[in-house]
Amino acid sequence: MATVKELMSLDGRVSVVTGGATGLGLQMATGLAEAGSHIVVCSRKLENCEQAAHELEKCGVMALAIAADITKPDQVEAVKAATLKKFGRVDVLVNNAGRAWVAPPEEMPLERWQQIMDLNITAPFICAQAFGREMIKARRGKIINIASVAGLIGRNPKAYNSVVYSTSKGALVQFTRDLAIKWAQYNIHVNCVCPGFFVTPINQKLFERGAEQILREIPLARTGGADDLKGIAVLLASDASNFITGAIIPVDGGTVAW
């Protein structure tokens, strides 16, 4: 029987975090590194990845910085090749990269709709397929999809008005459930985290404009903090979650329970 510390340890594991150079991705990457996992950070800007990797290495692990557009299968394959070359394995994939476009549904440009869908749902499929093939060979793996409470409930347009974001995150929730069933036979665990409102550089202005309304919809009456996603990321990446798959877990201050 393993101890809780042993179950939660990620010593020697290798985790790939898309969009891991900033914001929530970096928070989760830091949590995984603090638990002992080596980290592959990938996003579009190499400078940001290198800076994040430098900080992550202070946790006593190795970190690899790679610039990639994960909507492009060839670039995802390059990330996988670099990961295997450096570490020889991949244990965890965190599908975190994503973005939104705020506009009323009647004014949403089709081009922006397609861009958001490409990054928020097609890219997680591309990444899961590429890294999943290695996990199937190893007969083990952890995939953590980062959706949103916006994928679970309708949102008040006064607080957040992005129907494409909600749609893409809802698709990611269902992708998680079905992929978990498809790959359970390979001992690959696929779960989904649905963050509530976390203030990041991307949505800082949105929060400033609508803070009162946003906080009114959160029972804990605060936004997510700098450590609030670390624990769930480590849990789902570790052996402590070996009997959890297909789970959709809100980390939202009670928003969807309101």
CATH number of the domain that residue 223 is part of: 3.40.50.720
94 belongs to a structural domain: yes
**pTM attached to this predicted model:** 0.97
Q: Do 32 and 11 contact (CB within 8 A), yes or no? A: no
Domain total in the chain: 1
Instruction: Classify residue 164: in a domain, yes or no.
Output: yes
Burial class (CB within 10 angstroms; exposed 0-12, middle 13-18, buried 19+) of 193: buried
Q: Is there a domain that residue 204 lies in?
A: yes
Q: The sheet that has 14-18: what strands, in order across it? A: 63-67, 38-43, 14-18, 92-95, 141-146, 188-195, 248-251
Does any domain span residue 157?
A: yes
- The helix or strand, by DSSP H or E, that contains position 165, with its residue range, turns out to be helix 163-183
* First CA to last CA distance, the chain: 39
Beta carbons within 8 Å of 7's beta carbon, 6+ residues apart: 238, 239, 240
Query: Is residue 258 situated within a structural domain?
Result: no
DSSP assigned state of 118: I
Q: How far apart are CA 3 and CA 152, in angstroms?
A: 34
Alpha-carbon distance values, 170 to 149, 150, 165 (Å): 9, 7, 8
**48-85 per-position pLDDT tens digit:** 999 999 999 999 999 999 999 999 999 999 999 999 99
Domain hosting 227: range is 4-252
What pLDDT, in 10s, does the model give residues 230-251?
999 999 999 999 999 999 999 9
- Assess if residue 222 is contained within a domain: yes
Q: Which of 160, 165, 175, 198 is catalytic?
A: 165
Distance CA 202, CA 91 (A): 29
Please give the structure tokens belonging to residue 37. Answer: 């996992």
Distance (Å, whole) CA 41 – CA 59:
14
Structure confidence by residue, pLDDT tens digits, 198-233: 998 778 888 888 898 899 999 999 999 999 999 999
Give the pLDDT score at 44: 95
What's the pLDDT tens digit per position in 107-116?
999 999 999 9
Active-site annotation holds for 165: yes
> Is 179 inside any structural domain?
yes
Taking phi first (over 0 means left), then psi (-120 to 50 degrees means alpha), and beta for anything else, what does residue 154 get?
beta
Residue 257 within any structural domain of the chain: no
Please tell me the distance from the alpha carbon of residue 13 to that of residue 54, in angstroms, as a whole number.
18
